[in-house]
Structures are given as C-alpha cells and as structure tokens.
Structure 1
C-alpha cells in the first residue's frame, strides 16, 4: 500500500529536473570540494538485499533469489547505468528522490509520524517577565546565527576519515537550509518551498492561546531589534488573556497532508487568510508559548522516580514536545509545516519540535543546544526600550462554513492519534559507552544488537530495522539506512534466548508431564562467538553506509530510474518480500546531544516501535514508542525488555 501511494504520488510529481540541480540543493562554495555520492555496485546491493530477506522473510528467500537473478540479467544493469549517468549530471543523485520518497509523497500527519521532538532540562523563572527575557535572549542569539548563515560564514564541521588519521569536512547544506525551507501540503505530493531571504525570515511568529502573532525582528531602519525590544513584544503577548472565541486554525496543520492541502485552498479564497498564511510560511521560526501543562494521564513512568517537571514524567514532556497533547491542549498552538518550533511551557518546559524533511537532528538539535548554553551563560543586563515599537500584530482569519468544518474534523483526528501514541523513557545507567568501548565494540553497533535481541524476545522473530546513517561526507548528503537485522544477528539472538521461558529456539524442548524442560546446546563461549560475528557484520553495515555503500538509497534509485522513464516497476520491487523488507517495524536513531535531553518520535508503521537513543557519558536515554491500537506492541514492555537485554549482554561479555 505504501509503495502504491508513492508510485501514484510520483506520477503527479512534475517538478523533478533531470539535467540540473534544484535550487534548494545548490551546494555552497564551502561544500564544492566534497566528493559526490557514489552509486554502489549492483551485485553487492543485491547480495545485501538477499541477506535481509534471509533474516526477516526467510520463507521468501528462494523466490527472491530467482527474482534477483532475473533482475541482474534483465532491467537491473540498464537502471544501474542510468543512475551512474545521473550521478554525473547532478550534485547528488539520491537526495531529490529520497526527499520525495521519504517525506513529500507520504500523506500521513506530521505530528508523531514525521516531526521529532526534543526536551531539554527545564528552566526556572521567578516571573513571567523573566521567561520573556529568556526567550528574547534566545531569539537574539538565533538572529545572530541566521546572520552568520546569510554571510555563508558557518564553520564547516569535520569528522574522522576512514583511515582514522585525517579530519574530513561534512556537507553543511542542512544548516543553511533549516530556516529557509517550508513544507507546503499537496493533494498528491507536498512541496518544499525554498524561501528567499531577501523577502522572508525578518519576522517570527509567536503562538499563544492558539492565536498567532507577527513579531518583526528588524527595526524600520533595517537593524536587528534589541533584546529589550523582543522582551517587550513577547511579554505583551504573554499578558494577552485567552479568548474562547479564537478558532484554532493551527490544528489544520495536524491533518493528513491531502486533507490539509484542500483545507488550505479553502482558506486561501479569502484575502485576510492569504496574508496570515503568507506570514506563517515566511517567518524565521515559530515560538510556542504554552500556558498550561499536560495532565499526568500522559505519564507512563518506567520507575516512580522518573519525574522531569513536578508530577510530569519523562514520557509526559516528550508527548508535549511531539504533539502538544491534542486539540484540548496545545496541538493548535503550532504550525507543524514550519521547520523549527521553539516551545516554552508554563512550568519551565523547554523544548524543540521540527519538520523532518528540512533536516536531520544533528544539525537542528546542535544549534538549539548551543544557543541555549550561550543564553544560560549571559549576565543580566538593562537595555533601553525603543519607543517606536507597535503592538504585536495578531493574525486574523475569516473562516467559511467549510473551514470551520475542516477544523472540527482535524481536531477529532489529531485527538485520536494522540490518544493512540504510547511512550516510555528508559534511562539506563548501569554502565556507559566506556564499558562497551573497553570491549572493542562500537557503542552504536552494541545498542543496535541489543535492540535486535529485545525485539526477538518480545516477538520471536526479527524485522526490518531502520537506523539513519548520515552520508554528509558527500555533497548534499542526507541519510541512508543502517539495517541491523542480519543472519548473524538472528543466529546470536536465538542463542541468547535459549533459556528464556517463552522462547523455544536455539535448544531442544521436550515434554516431561506438564512441565517443559529445555536442554541448552549453546555454551557461553559459543554465544560469544556468534555475538562477535554479529558485531562484525553490523560494524561493516555501519561503515558501508557512511561511505555511501548502503542499499536503501540504491534500491530507491533503481525504482525511480524506471519510474522516471515511464517503465514498469521491475518485479523484484513488487514482490511480497520487498514489501516486508520495506516495512520498518523497528525504527531507530542515535540522537547525539551535548546534554541529557529526551528526544524521540513515533513508530513509522502501525504495528511497529520507534526507539531513539541518546548515548551519554553516564549511560543511555532510550525513548521508546508504540501505538496502543496494536495489541502486540507496548512501549513499556519494550523498555523493560531492552533493559534486560542490556544487562544480559554485559553479563555475557563478563564471563
């Protein structure tokens, strides 16, 4: 179904340009020296694909082998050649197609399904004015950062090269784009609007009580307004009381993309609405001031002491950042299409939510943390207010009967989605990455195998596992997919589960009256050997991806190479095994931050899990998600089982 939707969207996707790089993908001079993304070897990708089928869809392995042979002797080489030719014409052969395939052609709602959230350590303010000062200072620093971007003066990030001796530059395009992109809904495919800095980004939108306010950040003379000016504007907005008559127009951005696209067209029929939408689309960012807290019904404590703010636990605050609690709370106090949302709660909640097609977490989370640290270190100051500042401009709406109906339907839909989301946060501190490194294992490889063991213990089989792999070593690179399910991982998890009460794998089970007796056939030494093989396989998978040899971008590119020429999709991509391989029931991501923050997202399929993990010096923070509507998944059970997996792995290595 998902592939069908993508194919239908592709047919209406008329903006693809074969012979030139689209405007939003133009590489800056600093990135011109970066290598281009390679096109992997076709035969190597097919062998890796077969290994995936062996691990997660073994019943289809023989048929898939035949399909692979037919593909390699049939359309495969021709499609491969087209990719090679495309790579010679554009800066990055995968990125345009990947953004369309991964985001723009998917009709799902942005909250939970797409937009990740991050919650930093809460703030403490003595008064509302202090909160306004903090926000103004943060925005002042943000404006300074934007000016650095405008001047193309951002320092290039670097990472160790493959040889481990030199530092390799990374593509900085995501940093330059994050405040210049807007995701506009479409009936068949969304559109990424690349904003012109000459006419946009000189104002922010402040959301309060479901009402939006336009706050210019440039004075009439063209200079940036001062911190004191911003403080005054924000404080004025904070003092405006809630109005029960306000219609929550922002809730429309929570709807499925085709639904929101039609509702937007209805709004645009009125000139007043057109101006409000234009201001929202062209702002630098959205600042959300939430005047209350989510109730403890959003709590899902792993342990009783897992409190973050008062009676709110870790899961509660992540709910707040991801979706705002639905229409009864703050979901309408957002404009989910905008790339960056800064969220300040009444109780000091300090959070970020962003639209994912605009960039990856390392770029967006990094600037949020760095600016927060800068503001925290600033001394108090007294700035003189300018006298010309006007009242913040309230965005006005003129709503038709159809628009009011659209809003009511959107409220109902987001509330159902919010109620379905199941979150649980595991803060694991029994050991840290230093222990893992002492075993000569990559912490990321180790955690990915722990997740495989966890899923197997819960469901007695492995599934396709998504872990985003940055390919920023290449010009305009975004991500590929590190796949942790492998034949080697499967062999190891079976051995690890030989003594589990409910897992009858890896050993011989005999009946003795009403009691089951299991005979172990794996020694600890054998389990270690299997683990080492799984580690080697996963390490190679990780390294292959970051040097541009992953399979998911390649498989996607081969499909699009056929679509672009109006040819039938090769049979290998219509096969049931391919659908299973593309069904990521376990979606994971290492979310590396400077501080102890909680960050996560929802599952990407109805019967799946999401698991973001923050590798800290003192342990790991796992944000586990599932959907209540699927009776076979549970975020809390996943977290509990993951904790046991991590404990058992350390025990295995210590023997």
Structure 2
C-alpha cells in the first residue's frame, strides 16, 4: 500500500511561497506580501487554525487535495477543452498507398488498444517505479485504469468526471467510430469474443460506405468543442429527446472514440500533423469529427496522419504515453504480417449509425460553438522545433539534469524577450502517494533570475566563470524544487488546500489569498511539461493564459523536440520569436559549459574572464 499524500509544514510552505513571489514582483510589492504572509503564519493566526483543520480533514481522505485539485485544475474551468485543456499527440507518419490501407491500420490500432485493455481489465499492468530522483519507489497506477472508463460530462458551473460502476452496468463492448462527422457504434466484443482484425476491417469498411452514402449530417461533435457552460445547456436540450439520449449514452459509455479523418494537405510536416491532432483544423475540416468529452480519441486520416487527442482530467501524459508505446510496438510487431481472416463470428450485425434530433435551441448552440472554435483555431500560433545541436546526452555529460537544463533554457528565453521572469508551471508527479497526480515545480526561482540577468549582461565585471557558478546554483534550486514536489512537499497543492479549507468553513478569505501577487503566481505565463517518448511521437497543447506560452518538450539523446504555442491576438507573446530565442538560449548555454570546461582545464587556478 502506498502512503497518503502528506500535508507539508505550514512555515515551510510560507517560506517557499515568498521565494516564489520574490523574482516576480517589485521590492515594495514583495514587502507588502511578506507582511501578509507573516500575519497569516503568526502563532495562533489564521494559518495555524487552517493548517490544523486541514490535517484533520486529511485523516478522512485517501488523498486530501485530489477533489480540490481536480476542480481547480479542470472541472470548474469554463474554457473549451480544445487547445486550452486537451493535449494532442502525433504518432509516426504512416504511408497509405490505397484507401483500404487506412482501414487496415485502423483495424490493427483497435486490436492493439484492446490488447492493452485486456491487461488493464485484469489489473495486470506492471507497477511503475520512479526513475531519476527518488528512483525505485513504487507509483500509484490508478490513472491508467481511468483511460477507458472515464467520461467528462459538461455542467453549468462545474463538469463531472464519471466512471460507470461495473457492478451496476455491464462493461462496454463497443467503440464509437466517427466518419464524415457521423457517429457509428462498432461492437468490438461479440458473444464474449474480441473481433479479429479482419472482422474489424470489414466493419470499418461498412462504416466508411455508410458515411459516404448517408445524408448530410449536422456536425453535432462541434458542441463538445465550445464553452463548457454553453455545451451543458445544449446537452440539457438534447436530453429532452429519447433519440438523443440513446446516442449520448452510447458515446458516453464507449471504450474509446476512433476518428477516421480526411487528409488535410499533401505536406505532412510536424506542424500540420500537430494541428490535426490538437484541434482538427476547424469546422470545415476535421474538428466536427471529434467528441472532445471522451477521454481517449484516436485519429487515423486517409493520408497516413495519425495520433490522438485526450481529455486531460482523468490522467497525466505518462499513462497515455505508456499506452501509445504499447500500441505502436503492437502495430510494428504485427505490421508486416498479412491480415488473415480468423474464424469469423457468424454474420456480423452492421454497425449502427447514431441519430440526432436537433431543436432550434441546439442549432443556436451549434452555431455559437462553431464560430468559437474557428476563432480559437485561427488565433492559435503553434511552432514545432527540432533542436538538433544536442540532446539530453549533453547535459548528462556535464553532470546536469536534462530537465533542469531545458527548464532554465525556457527561463533564459523568456528573459531575453521580456527582460523579466514570469510564473512558470512544470508538473511534478506525486504518484508516490495514493491517488497522486501532480504538484508544481517553480522554475522561475531567485537563483534562476540571478543567472538569466548575468547571461544577458554585457558588463565585463560578469565573467563566464561567474555565469557558470550562477547556472549551477539555479540548477540546484530547480533540483530542490523538484525533490520537494516529488516528496509531496510542494507549495501549490498545500496553498490550494488552505484556501479551500477557508472557503469550506465559510471564514473571510485571508489576505494572503486575495493579495495580487498570489493571483500573479497562479497565472502561469509559461506552462511547460516534459513528455518523453522512445518513438518518434510527440505531444502538444495550448497556453493556459491569454499572454502565455505552452511549451511541451521531448528530449532524445541527440535532439530535443519542442512544441511551442501562443495566441496571435496577444501582443506580449509570439511563438516564432520565442522559438528563435530558445534556439539561441540553448546555443549560449552549451557554449558557456564548453568554454568554462575548456578554460578550467587549461588554467585550473584562474577564474575565467569573458
């Protein structure tokens, strides 16, 4: 049994919070915040009282922050899932030479996913153990078991994440296939037997033929791409009709969604592939060929583009990546084998097309959602950079953490462009604890601020040796933040818990939580995440604030793949400029490391001068 997530000591969190605030605000603002923090943390003050109540509350919960964190991070957010919340993932490009190749690949993909689901259903997935810092500790596996059993239902003020109770409802035996914006029920298990790939191929062929021959269908899937409250209202209207209730029920209970897309363009670059997986390129392209509330949506286009988009609330990227690696290995393993017709299950029933009856009110919501998602997609500024000068092997050769190296490169990049640091989010897994999800590694540290200023300084008083010493201190601070978060001692979840406890007992909100710097530290202008894969697959997502950047990176031995995003209508952010500055920052950091190493070897007793 894994331990419960601890509640960190109050003073430790308050000291850590002040360290986070310091590089983000002016001296006067910092002094004001410091006084409020000291008032909150004084003996017998609000902080001690809330801490005591939080400790009591934690005794009654498997994971004291889980529900609060889920609401704060996902379920109370009203922004559309598309771009703002749901990451896309690009698989290695496939070569399809004839129309049936898309169906063959999709059949094999379904088979590979069901192969993985058998392991999940038996609870036979090998336990993950921590790597890197705190290596060897067992990790909570619950996120894996939510991949095919969860569904996000829109609510007027708060969404719900539901998992059908298998003791009440039978396990689902169908998937939903979306083709030409039409939804079909495909049974993948019939009479307790999984369909063979040959049978899946034939059923997919039937779906393709039916979708092509069918009447023009309203793009109902676009409803899931809009504002969450508006979609909740539309869903209430849909549920008034029994035909719609049946269709929604079949989608909500399915194992996963398979989107059979139409190719977007001949030029399958990293960027065009990323856009197709992340948002589908708009209402006149593949965006209506989605149902964004379903946790797992796999995408196979007729031009060989393939990947997925997933609803983020049930799981972190690590569980999705593990599933994808299993899937791609399965496809690779059986890819060269011809699809033999296994013993067919007698005459298979035709896949059922889902029907919809749309009222004038629903048509209004559909129009609003279409306009909204098209605006969001047009406003998205996504850049993919394969940095090939070095990969994670270079920081390792310098006895540096590759993740810490990249995080500080992102800090240097932002400082080069804006001459300041901003609140930064990097997820740190808390899976060492029951139902653990993440806490935040705060890369915009005091030490990082000192280092980036030295890197951008032209004064002769600052030597490369000084820059290197400051770099090492910044890396150490980053490592300490990381370890603290991994051990369940991060500040973000704890401060959230104290704030939620104040709301729970209906006391006036303490000044520490209404202070402007508190709001500033929780607006993550840099939203970053390392999502490593062993194959040529990568993940991408949008910024989490209007003036922010999304920065997802995948470090390989000899290159680093970055997916960088911002919004075009914001004058403060610009993905192309950020990409150029990031490339220069990484070059500068390598140059600094190599120069100092060389000069220390050549002149071991002399400080290196610029």
**Alpha-carbon distance in 1 for matches of 2:392, 2:192:** 49
Q: Deviation at 1:319?
A: 1.0
Residue 320 of structure 1 pairs with residue 282 of structure 2 = no
Q: Deviation at 1:217?
A: 1.4
Query: Which one of 12, 15, 25 corresponds to residue 47 of structure 1?
Result: 15
Match of 1:230 in 2: 200
Query: Which one of 169, 183, 189 corresponds to residue 138 of structure 2?
Result: 169
Residue 528 of structure 1 pairs with residue 468 of structure 2 = yes
Match of 1:504 in 2: none
Query: Which one of 366, 372, 380 corresponds to residue 338 of structure 2?
Result: 380
Matches within 5 A, 1:288-327: 288-293=259-264, 295=265, 310-327=266-283
**Alpha-carbon distance in 2 for matches of 1:613, 1:162:** 19
TM-score when normalising by structure 2: 0.94
Match of 2:599 in 1: none
| Alpha carbons 2:263, 2:303 under 8 Å: kept | yes
Match of 2:238 in 1: 267
**Alpha-carbon distance in 2 for matches of 1:369, 1:399:** 40
Q: What's the secondary structure of 1:125's corresponding residue?
A: coil
Q: What's the secondary structure of 1:344's corresponding residue?
A: strand
**Alpha-carbon distance in 2 for matches of 1:92, 1:528:** 41
Mean Cα deviation higher: 257-266 or 196-205: 196-205
Match of 1:203 in 2: 174
Cα 1:112/1:273, change in 2 over 3 Å: same
Match of 1:342 in 2: 298
Match of 1:107 in 2: 78
Q: Deviation at 1:88?
A: 1.8
Q: Deviation at 1:387?
A: 3.4
Query: Which one of 440, 447, 455 corresponds to residue 399 of structure 2?
Result: 440
After superposition, what is the alpha-carbon deviation per residue over 1:576-602, rounded to whole angstroms, capped at 9, x for unaligned? 010111110000000111112231100
Matches within 5 A, 1:157-196: 157-160=128-131, 167-196=136-165
Residue 555 of structure 1 pairs with residue 555 of structure 2 = no
**Alpha-carbon distance in 1 for matches of 2:97, 2:529:** 37
- After superposing on structure 2, the runs of 4+ consecutive aligned residues of structure 1 that deviate more than 3 Å are 160-164, 384-387
| Alpha carbons 2:258, 2:298 under 8 Å: kept | yes
Q: Deviation at 1:245?
A: 2.4
**Alpha-carbon distance in 1 for matches of 2:128, 2:538:** 24
**Alpha-carbon distance in 2 for matches of 1:606, 1:272:** 39
* RMSD over equivalenced CA pairs, Å: 1.4
| Alpha carbons 1:209, 1:243 under 8 Å: kept | no
Q: What's the secondary structure of 1:79's corresponding residue?
A: helix
Match of 1:58 in 2: 26
Any stretches of 5+ residues in structure 1 without a counterpart? 1-32, 296-309, 500-518
Q: Deviation at 1:226?
A: 2.1
Cα 1:289/1:256, change in 2 over 3 Å: same
Q: Deviation at 1:204?
A: 0.2
Q: Deviation at 1:161?
A: 8.2
Match of 1:331 in 2: 287
Match of 2:101 in 1: 130
**Alpha-carbon distance in 2 for matches of 1:158, 1:595:** 21
Residue 470 of structure 1 pairs with residue 443 of structure 2 = no
Q: Deviation at 1:368?
A: 1.5
**Alpha-carbon distance in 1 for matches of 2:86, 2:251:** 18
After superposition, what is the alpha-carbon deviation per residue over 1:412-465, rounded to whole angstroms, capped at 9, x for unaligned? 110000000000011011112111011111000111000000000011100000
Q: Deviation at 1:369?
A: 2.2
| Alpha carbons 1:156, 1:169 under 8 Å: kept | yes
| Alpha carbons 2:198, 2:339 under 8 Å: kept | no
**Alpha-carbon distance in 1 for matches of 2:213, 2:261:** 11
Cα 1:162/1:529, change in 2 over 3 Å: closer
Q: Deviation at 1:230?
A: 1.1
Q: Deviation at 1:90?
A: 1.4
Match of 1:364 in 2: 320
Cα 1:268/1:346, change in 2 over 3 Å: same
Q: What's the secondary structure of 1:179's corresponding residue?
A: coil
**Alpha-carbon distance in 2 for matches of 1:468, 1:567:** 31
**Alpha-carbon distance in 2 for matches of 1:401, 1:200:** 35
Residue 541 of structure 1 pairs with residue 450 of structure 2 = no
**Alpha-carbon distance in 1 for matches of 2:213, 2:514:** 53
Q: What's the secondary structure of 1:358's corresponding residue?
A: coil
**Alpha-carbon distance in 2 for matches of 1:140, 1:555:** 45
| Alpha carbons 1:204, 1:214 under 8 Å: kept | yes
Query: Which one of 553, 564, 572 corresponds to residue 512 of structure 2?
Result: 572
Residue 479 of structure 1 pairs with residue 479 of structure 2 = no
After superposition, what is the alpha-carbon deviation per residue over 1:456-482, rounded to whole angstroms, capped at 9, x for unaligned? 001110000000111111111000000
Q: Deviation at 1:85?
A: 1.6
**Alpha-carbon distance in 2 for matches of 1:206, 1:160:** 37
Q: What's the secondary structure of 1:195's corresponding residue?
A: coil
Residue 635 of structure 1 pairs with residue 575 of structure 2 = yes
Q: What's the secondary structure of 2:564's corresponding residue?
A: strand
**Alpha-carbon distance in 2 for matches of 1:492, 1:88:** 42
TM-score when normalising by structure 1: 0.88
Residue 248 of structure 1 pairs with residue 219 of structure 2 = yes
Residue 412 of structure 1 pairs with residue 376 of structure 2 = no
Q: What's the secondary structure of 1:183's corresponding residue?
A: strand
**Alpha-carbon distance in 2 for matches of 1:223, 1:245:** 34
**Alpha-carbon distance in 2 for matches of 1:428, 1:127:** 34
Q: Deviation at 1:243?
A: 5.3
Residue 389 of structure 1 pairs with residue 354 of structure 2 = no
Match of 1:616 in 2: 556
Cα 1:496/1:321, change in 2 over 3 Å: same
After superposition, what is the alpha-carbon deviation per residue over 1:478-503, rounded to whole angstroms, capped at 9, x for unaligned? 0000010011111110110113xxxx
Residue 460 of structure 1 pairs with residue 428 of structure 2 = no
Any stretches of 5+ residues in structure 2 without a counterpart? 596-610
Q: Deviation at 1:160?
A: 4.4
**Alpha-carbon distance in 2 for matches of 1:250, 1:130:** 26
Q: What's the secondary structure of 2:313's corresponding residue?
A: helix
**Alpha-carbon distance in 2 for matches of 1:63, 1:425:** 41
**Alpha-carbon distance in 1 for matches of 2:134, 2:124:** 28
Residue 257 of structure 1 pairs with residue 215 of structure 2 = no
Q: What's the secondary structure of 1:318's corresponding residue?
A: helix
